[in-house]
């Protein structure tokens, strides 16, 4: 997908990227090059501001050559802005025709010893920008990837550090997750999703699927109840990866996989229902993380549980008022069939707990309240373990995926007590603290195990336009969680 080759020392390549530095009111060239100065004459430097991407096209020997000028700040930029420049660069070119780019590295402009991460963020922004979802359009074509010519120094670094291979693995899987999220719910049913996972995995991943009957037999009654309204019956996918057989340590990942969330009998209104094909983003992202871990052969043991269900309205659907005995034994009074994510996750978290894990992480498009609180760029996370919470947050910051910790506020636990069952699935105070109440409900099923819950309802699916991810299914969190596991558990 991304192929980095040594720079060909020819200024007039078809697509040439030139970083400029803005200090105060003027633009400086930190990379002096008289030939570039000739091209720069065509732009009004005074008009440019930090963050601009300006394209100048010139004809040379019958070829149209694009010079793309990036305007960077004099002080070290943040990685998010650099990735944003990468995406803007791709968007300034014809994506379909784009085959190669000659790239003047950004890291040479700054002094810090980790300056290579600027180039990495720029490439990542380009890769996010190259993604398109046009499978359902006439005349669609797959992009074969892009070749980038760079300096000797960065080339050596990228070979030694293996970052190009890793970026390729991660982005291939991010594209896969984005495709799954964007696929309409008539094509991505629970069964089709499970079949896709079985057909797409390598032999380092062990896949086991519990189907409708098995789910009932095993007493996974919450998953069974939520999925029972649909003709497309539920399944629970289990994925095992054993990269460190000599150790018993294990991480368990859980991903919410509601292939369509109509709200059930508590039907969602127009305006909230249209994007609910994306309610399986947690499952798609966890699968992409498992694939990336296995393809990079990380020395770590990880198991994943993906409850795949369709939450529909209908004759066999569960009802507000139903009381269901969960796999854990706790009974749950369903007071709102639209709070279905916490139900399917509850049984999956109980399964996770049986594995005696060092850490459980779940990813879920759980609450609209989290989007109200933090907006669509930022995920909320909750944890009962400060040490892991800190490390997780660091990984999200390093990978410039925005996240914010919210409290597991124990004094609100009473609000989930049902009069006639052990728990109810929504809070007694319906209009308050929705994201916290979802997390507190999940906490009832993780015992004393270290656990992190990530509510990705905002960033998983972008309705307008995110500066780095663009539109639609984003693949949010895949890079950060992969790196969190790589840096903290594999050794
Ligand atoms: N899938 C939704 C949450 C959601 C909302 C995800 C917006 C992405 C964007 C979830 O199942 C849901 O419907 N939650 C309810 C909970 C409520 C009934 C307590 C909500 O947020 O309104
Ligand atoms: Mg719902
Ligand atoms: Zn949902």
Q: How confident is the model at residue 151 (pLDDT cuts 50, 70, 90)?
A: confident
Residue 27 has pLDDT above 90, yes or no: no
Average pLDDT, the chain: 94
Predicted model pTM: 0.97
Residue 139 has pLDDT above 90, yes or no: no
CB 251 within 8 A of CB 489: yes
Q: Are residues 46 and 133 in the same domain?
A: yes
Residue 8 has pLDDT above 80, yes or no: no
Give, as residue ranges, everything with CB less than 5 Å from ion ligand 3: 258, 261, 279, 341
Residue 268 is among the residues annotated as catalytic for this protein: yes
339 CA to centre of ligand 1 in angstroms: 6
Residue where one domain finishes, among candidates 101, 129, 161: 161
Residues lining ligand 1, Cβ inside 6 A: 261, 279, 336, 338-341, 365-369, 371, 426, 434, 457
The residues that bridge with 381 in the sheet, in sequence order, are 405, 454
The residues that bridge with 379 in the sheet, in sequence order, are 403
368 CA to centre of ligand 2 in angstroms: 9
| 62 against 433, higher pLDDT | 433
Mutate to test the pocket of ligand 1, among 281, 332, 368, 454 (most ligand atoms within 8 A of CB): 368
Q: Are residues 220 and 80 in the same domain?
A: no
131 CA to centre of ligand 3 in angstroms: 26
Rounded distance, CA 116 to CA 54, Å?
23
CATH label of the domain that carries residue 359: 3.40.630.10
Question: Of 342, 415, 479, 486, which is the active-site residue?
Answer: 342
CB 240 within 8 A of CB 205: yes
350 CA to centre of ligand 3 in angstroms: 19
Rounded distance, CA 215 to CA 78, Å?
47
- Ligand 1: which atom is nearest the Cα of residue 256? 1
CB 388 within 8 A of CB 450: yes
The protein residue with its alpha carbon nearest to ligand 1, atom 22, reads 368
Q: Are residues 255 and 130 in the same domain?
A: no
Q: Identify the burial level of 375 via C-beta atoms within 10 angstroms of its C-beta, where 0-12 means exposed, 13-18 middle and 19 or more buried.
A: exposed
Q: Are residues 240 and 364 in the same domain?
A: yes
The protein residue with its alpha carbon nearest to ligand 1, atom 8, reads 457
- Ligand 1: which atom is nearest the Cα of residue 460? 8
Q: Is the dihedral of CA 202, 289, 86, 474 positive or negative?
A: positive
CB 147 within 8 A of CB 98: no
Residue 238 is among the residues annotated as catalytic for this protein: no
Number of neighbouring beta carbons within 10 Å of residue 87: 24
Name the nearest CA neighbour of 9 among 155, 146, 109, 186: 155
Rounded distance, CA 291 to CA 302, Å?
11
Q: Give pLDDT tens digits for 94-131.
A: 988 888 998 888 888 898 888 889 999 999 999 999 99
- Ligand 1: which atom is nearest the Cα of residue 426? 19
- Percent of the chain residues past pLDDT 90, beyond the cut: 79
Q: Are residues 236 and 88 in the same domain?
A: no
CB 306 within 8 A of CB 234: no
Torsion of CA 173, 481, 406, 371, to 10 degrees: -10
- Ligand 1: which atom is nearest the Cα of residue 261? 1
CB 120 within 8 A of CB 163: yes
- By three-state DSSP, how is residue 304 classified? strand
Q: Give pLDDT tens digits for 297-311.
A: 999 999 999 999 999
End-to-end CA separation in angstroms for the chain: 28
- By three-state DSSP, how is residue 37 classified? helix
**Secondary-structure percent of the chain, ordered helix, strand, coil, rounded to 5:** 35, 25, 40
Q: CB under 8 Å to 471, separation ≥6 — which residues?
A: 462, 463, 464, 465
CB 177 within 8 A of CB 288: yes
- Percent of the chain residues past pLDDT 70, beyond the cut: 99
Name the nearest CA neighbour of 82 among 50, 104, 114: 50
Q: Identify the burial level of 300 via C-beta atoms within 10 angstroms of its C-beta, where 0-12 means exposed, 13-18 middle and 19 or more buried.
A: buried
CATH label of the domain that carries residue 125: 3.40.220.10
Ligand in closest contact with the CA of 438? 1
Give the domain range for residue 17: 2-161
Number of neighbouring beta carbons within 10 Å of residue 154: 23
Q: Give pLDDT tens digits for 303-333.
A: 999 999 999 999 999 999 999 999 999 999 9
Question: Of 55, 172, 268, 391, which is the active-site residue?
Answer: 268
170 CA to centre of ligand 3 in angstroms: 26
Tokens for 294?
Answer: 């296995």
CB 31 within 8 A of CB 110: no
| 163 against 140, higher pLDDT | 163
Residue 344 has pLDDT above 90, yes or no: yes
Residue where one domain finishes, among candidates 119, 143, 161: 161
Q: Give pLDDT tens digits for 168-197.
A: 999 999 999 999 999 999 999 999 999 999
Number of independent structural domains in the chain: 2
The enclosing H or E element of 53 equals strand 53-60
Q: Are residues 124 and 181 in the same domain?
A: no
Residue 3 has pLDDT above 90, yes or no: no
Residue where one domain finishes, among candidates 102, 136, 161: 161
């Amino acid at each position: 997908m991304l192929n980095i080759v040594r720079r060909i020392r020819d200024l007039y390549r078809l697509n040439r990227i030139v970083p400029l530095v803005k200090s105060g009111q003027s633009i400086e060239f930190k990379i002096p090059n008289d030939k570039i100065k000739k091209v720069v004459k065509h732009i009004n430097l005074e008009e440019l501001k930090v963050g601009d991407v300006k394209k100048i096209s010139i004809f040379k020997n019958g070829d149209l050559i694009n010079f793309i000028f990036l305007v960077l700040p004099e002080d070290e930029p943040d990685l998010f802005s650099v990735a944003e420049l990468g995406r803007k660069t791709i968007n300034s070119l014809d994506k379909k025709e784009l085959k190669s780019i000659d790239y003047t590295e950004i890291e040479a402009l700054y002094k810090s010893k980790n300056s290579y991460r600027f180039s990495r963020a720029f490439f990542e922004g380009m890769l996010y920008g190259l993604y398109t979802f046009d499978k359902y359009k006439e005349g669609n074509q797959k992009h074969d990837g892009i070749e980038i010519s760079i300096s000797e120094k960065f080339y050596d670094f990228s070979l030694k550090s293996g970052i190009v291979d890793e970026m390729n693995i991660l982005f291939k899987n991010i594209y896969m997750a984005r495709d799954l999220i964007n696929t309409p719910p008539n094509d991505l049913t629970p069964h089709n999703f499970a079949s896709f996972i079985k057909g797409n995995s390598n032999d380092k991943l062990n896949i086991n699927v519990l189907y409708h009957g098995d789910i009932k037999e095993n007493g996974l009654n919450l998953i069974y109840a939520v999925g029972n309204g649909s003709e497309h019956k539920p399944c629970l996918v289990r994925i095992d990866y054993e990269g460190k057989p000599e150790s018993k340590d294990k991480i368990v990942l859980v991903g919410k996989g509601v292939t369509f969330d109509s709200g059930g009998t508590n039907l969602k209104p127009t305006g909230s229902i249209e994007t609910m094909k994306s309610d399986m983003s947690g499952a798609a992202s966890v699968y992409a993380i498992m694939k990336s871990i296995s393809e990079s052969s990380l020395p770590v043991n990880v198991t994943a549980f993906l409850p795949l269900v369709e939450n529909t309205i209908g004759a066999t659907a569960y009802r507000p008022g139903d009381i269901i005995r969960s796999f854990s034994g706790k009974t749950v009074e369903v007071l709102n069939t639209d709070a279905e994510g916490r139900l399917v996750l509850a049984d999956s978290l109980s399964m996770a707990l049986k594995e005696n894990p060092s850490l459980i992480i779940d990813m879920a498009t759980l609450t609209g309240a989290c989007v109200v609180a933090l907006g669509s760029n930022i995920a909320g996370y909750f944890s009962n373990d400060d040490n892991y919470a800190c490390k997780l947050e660091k990984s999200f910051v390093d990978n410039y995926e925005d996240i914010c910790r919210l409290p597991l506020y124990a004094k609100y636990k009473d609000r989930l007590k049902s009069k006639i069952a052990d728990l109810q699935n929504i809070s007694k105070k319906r209009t308050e603290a929705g994201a916290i109440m979802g997390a507190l409900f999940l906490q009832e099923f993780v015992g004393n195990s270290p656990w992190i819950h990530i509510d990705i309802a905002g960033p998983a699916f972008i309705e307008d336009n995110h500066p780095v991810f663009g539109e639609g299914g984003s693949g949010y969190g895949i890079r950060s969680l992969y790196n969190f596991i790589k840096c903290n558990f594999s050794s």
